[in-house]
Amino acid sequence: MTTLFNIAGGLALFIYGMTMLGDGLQKCAGDRFRAIIDKLTTNPMMGVLVGAGITSIIQSSSATSVLAIGFVNSGLMTFNQALGIILGANVGTTITAQLVAFKLTKYALPILTVGFVLYFVCKKQTWKYLGYCLLGCGILFLGLSIMTSILKPLAADPVFRNFFIQYSNNMWLAFLVGIVTTAIIQSSSATTGIVIALALSDLITLQGALPIILGCNIGTCVTALIASIGTNINGKRTALAHLLFNLFGSLIFLSFVGPFQNLIVLTASDLARQCANAHVLFNLTTTLILLPFIKQFAKLIIKLIPGELKKLNYKDTKYLESHLLNTPSVAIEAAVKEIVRTLKLTDKMVNLSLDGLLYRNLTFLESIDDREKTVDNKRLHITEYLIEIGAKSLTLEESRKIPSMVHVINDVERIGDHAVNIKKLAEQIVNKNLKFSTEAIEELKNMKQNINIMLNDTSKALCSNDIETAKIVLEKEKIINKLRDTLKTNHIRRLNKCNILSGVAFIDTINNLEKIGDHLTNIGQAVMDGLQWS
């Protein structure tokens, strides 16, 4: 029992170290995640390279596949783009096995020491993140060292040795072991690490290792399949594509496991390195075989999961996706997209309410209240999403964005409130048959035009992180304030010709428009002050 717990403890350190290494690399990459995703094209090869790159950073093909499902489900990428990501993820995940095969276990403690010093002593974030990476790397090698030190003496035990020899001779049993083990620990890299530890302890042959390595590529799909529950049809298609891709490759290689084993023997004389090379060669070859037929593969998946993607209406949150939360930089980008989408909804509310007022037509006002409820719900969901992001391990830059983004969505929601105020004024004007002079109507139209320009520029500045456009927004506020003062002066001049109630409604409309300009200025200022995500 003690031996079992020691092995389990070593495995726990190995997996935890691998997770730390991935987290550290992700923090080093920071906002470059979004830049990588933005460069995605419909070119499958680009998708493969991006998938391999992301997986090399976060050290988990399962995590990358879950991200791809989240991207597709939230509309950040298409199903065809996701297929390239999935193919590349299987190549990127082989990095860990190659790292482990270098037999750096004797350097585990020095690596830990250097990592500790960098992380706890250095003040600069870059060095701290590097230290965190080295801490993870050291813990990974320490876990591997513990597993190897426990397993090596067992190699002399005839009973224990015969057990591994027997299942090594049973290809399908070894294949099943790889599937089940990876499904439980949810990491093909960790399973491959276990195989390498067994190889270093002389407890497994290449003949027994290969089916386990092939099986672990099936087991790693379990995470993606679970993540696809509750997603849209393209999310489910992405998860199925991941499973079928790995199943297809595994069955092909199992059919030619003898020649495959002979080829692997030629790549290295060391069994641990042979295992790592087998992992690389399998994933790389399968990707190259399937890549030219990716369009046909996509059609097959669509036939297996038929149906049309449900179109989202304006009441839905389109980009907030729980699967993205483990990659904060991407989740922040999704929240920004949802905020911009909400701002455009309030833009529509402002214009509908003003049209109802200017053209004395209550039809324009019919959807305002429903849209206002939608904006309120969106603000709540976006705020909750930002709080969840804030609970994650963030870089200093990411942690600074969260409070600012909460203020931004509050400003957006307040714009919706002012649109409702104008809607109520419009109803009052129509119901009480209040009249505006031709001059007053033209002045309101002019102010509406300026507010619309400001709304468009604010959306652009926020969506594209465009500081120059944000500066224009701030300059526009001065024009709005000056226009407000001019309109009030003109109104005082017309008082002797104006109905008192009409005059009050006119002033209230101007004040609400000026307040909308203030909130737009706050958003522009947030962009100016460093609300940057790329």
CA distances, 370 to each of 317, 319, 359, 476 (Å): 15, 21, 21, 30
Interval 281-307 mean pLDDT: 85
- Sorted by sequence, the CB contacts under 8 Å of residue 363 that are 6+ apart come out as 356
Q: Is the pTM of this model over 0.75?
A: no
Residue 75's pLDDT band, with cuts at 50, 70 and 90, is low
Please state, in angstroms and rounded to a whole number, the distance separating the CA atoms of residues 87 and 51: 7
Task: Answer whether 93's CB lies under 8 Å from 283's CB.
Answer: yes
What angle, 0 to 180 degrees and rounded to 10, lies between the N-to-C axes of helices 206-219 and 188-200? Answer: 170
The domains of the chain are located at: 2-304, 322-528
Burial of 400: CB neighbours in 10 Å, binned 0-12, 13-18, 19+: middle
**Alpha-carbon dihedral 229, 231, 235, 240, rounded to 10 degrees:** 20
What angle, 0 to 180 degrees and rounded to 10, lies between the N-to-C axes of helices 271-290 and 257-267? Answer: 120
Structurally, at CATH architecture level, domain 322-528 sits in Up-down Bundle (1.20)
Interval 210-227 mean pLDDT: 80
Diameter of the chain by CA atoms? Answer: 109
- Can you state the percent helix, strand and coil of the chain, rounding each to 5? 85, 0, 15
Q: Where are the alpha helices (H) located in 391-436, listed in sequence order?
A: 396-431
Residue 97 has a pLDDT of 63
Q: Which position has the higher pLDDT, 144 or 375?
A: 375
Please state, in angstroms and rounded to a whole number, the distance separating the CA atoms of residues 163 and 161: 5
Distance spanning both ends of the chain, measured CA to CA: 51
Residue 313's pLDDT band, with cuts at 50, 70 and 90, is very low
Please state, in angstroms and rounded to a whole number, the distance separating the CA atoms of residues 293 and 300: 11
Please state, in angstroms and rounded to a whole number, the distance separating the CA atoms of residues 32 and 12: 30
Please choose, from the candidates 243, 252, 253, 249, the residue with its C-alpha nearest in 3D space to the C-alpha of residue 304.
243
Interval 58-77 mean pLDDT: 64
Task: Answer whether 297's CB lies under 8 Å from 83's CB.
Answer: yes
Please state, in angstroms and rounded to a whole number, the distance separating the CA atoms of residues 51 and 82: 9
CA distances, 230 to each of 69, 163, 301, 310, 500 (Å): 11, 42, 18, 13, 57
Interval 299-326 mean pLDDT: 72
Task: Answer whether 453's CB lies under 8 Å from 476's CB.
Answer: yes
Other Cβ atoms less than 10 A from the Cβ of 380: the count is 12
Residue 487 has pLDDT above 60, yes or no: yes
Residue 518 has pLDDT above 70, yes or no: yes
Return the percentage of the chain with pLDDT > 90, whole number: 10
Please state, in angstroms and rounded to a whole number, the distance separating the CA atoms of residues 242 and 407: 39
Interval 429-434 mean pLDDT: 86
| Per-residue pLDDT reduced to its tens digit, 156-207 | 566 655 665 666 677 888 888 888 877 776 667 777 777 777 777 777 788 8
Provide the mean pLDDT of the chain. 79
